[in-house]
Structure 1
Amino acid sequence: MAGINRALASQKTFSESRKIRGVECVFLSHQQQDKEICKKVADYLINAGIDVYFDEYDDDLKLHRQSNNPKGTTTAIRNGINNSSHMLVVVSPNTLFSTWVPFEIGYGYDKTDLGVLCLKGISKGKLPEYVRTAPVIRDIYDLNNLLERLTGKTKELLIETRMMSDHSSYSNPLYEAMDSIINDKY
């Protein structure tokens, strides 16, 4: 079964029942300039059967941002984090200029299982200090390992049922955004 985006208004009631049943949900923390890449990450997780909170579909959050209401924006973000079991901080060069990513990490640090997802070209030395304490997903291989753990299904089964793509496949939807595998991780 595919996951859902818990930020969608049409999914809010359904997502409450999934939360009660303990279905994992990943909050995607990102800089707004990376929203197209994050949409691909969100779709990849959803296809694997993982719920996400991807803010681009949160109508409350959009309304608060458009009306320049920081209190409402903060409340909407906190609600998204409170309804999530995990947080992936998507790191790109743009992340260094985000005003909201540090807030999201600070708020979600003790509430979620925090991880860092690096986009192409982000070396260890380029990671912002505020994310260096969390486990780092350096490439698609690492992301597929995370999906294996979150779903409780083997990577082979997830690939066979087309719930995820092989990390080295050119047809992987994240191939352009993330490294496929980094051999010198440590």
Structure 2
Amino acid sequence: MAGINRALISGYDRIIYENKDIQNNSKVCVFISHKSSDMDAAEAVARYLMQNNIDVYLDKKDADLQKKTKEKDAQGIVDSIEKALKCSTHILVLVSDQTKESWWVPYEVGYSKKGKKKIASALLVGYVDDFPDYLKIEETIKSPDEFKTYAQKLKRLDAPYGTLFENAGQNVSNPSELESYIRRIV
């Protein structure tokens, strides 16, 4: 099973996501905040998370947001971003040299902070060496291993007990092994 990009949800299903109380929604969704020039990296991050059964919101596939951007409809852009953030549980900020020139990334972080979203930021390879001060007070990801750990943590939030095979770290091939495993978690 794979996660989805919620920006692709449309029609009635989108209305349900946008109006759902995210606190009662157990499915993790990561809003990927980035400068548009870092879209390749954002898509790679989104793919990795979705392959790990984590939902994402990546703006490139949001038809309404793209339309509002093309029309230069500032209020429509703000509304689209806020709706996407409301139906996300986390925000992941991709930090590069380009990020400091973004007007939207700080807005998305501020709106997320106000909405009590979990905030993390990741340094993109080959770019800046450090995070802006306003991101240093949140979770920071500086290496591929730290990113994998972050993804695993998100995955555990969706399925705190994981699967028997995943948590056991081994193949459970006979009933006695399965019983032994079950007793360990009870």
TM-score, normalising length from structure 1?
0.76
1:120 equivalenced with 2:131 (yes/no)? no
Match of 1:107 among 101, 107, 111: 111
2: distance between equivalents of 1:137 and 1:22? 24
Percent identity at matched positions? 32
Q: How does 1:134-173 map onto structure 2 within 5 Å?
A: 134-152=138-156, 153=162, 157=166
2:28 counterpart residue number: 24
2: distance between equivalents of 1:11 and 1:64? 17
Deviation at 1:128, TM superposition (A): 1.8
1: distance between equivalents of 2:58 and 2:166? 26
Amino acid at match of 1:47: Q
Please give the root-mean-square deviation of Cα atoms over the aligned residues, in Å. 2.5
Deviation at 1:22, TM superposition (A): 1.1
Q: Is the 8 A contact 1:5 1:11 kept in 2?
A: no
SS at match of 2:114: coil
1:176 counterpart residue number: none
Deviation at 1:132, TM superposition (A): 1.8
SS at match of 1:7: helix
Amino acid at match of 1:2: A
Which stretches of structure 1, 4 residues or more, deviate above 2 A after TM superposition?
Answer: 9-12, 14-17
2:173 counterpart residue number: none
1:2 counterpart residue number: 2
Query: Which stretch shifts more, 75-84 or 143-152?
Result: 143-152
1: distance between equivalents of 2:41 and 2:153? 23
Deviation at 1:129, TM superposition (A): 2.3
Unaligned ranges ≥5, structure 2: 157-161, 170-186
Unaligned ranges ≥5, structure 1: 161-186
Q: Is the 8 A contact 1:6 1:12 kept in 2?
A: no
Q: Deviations over 1:88-147 (max 9, x none)?
A: 0000111011011011011111321000111113323xx222222111011110111111
Structure 1 or 2: larger helix share? 2
TM-score, normalising length from structure 2?
0.76
2:176 counterpart residue number: none
Deviation at 1:12, TM superposition (A): 7.0
2: distance between equivalents of 1:41 and 1:21? 23
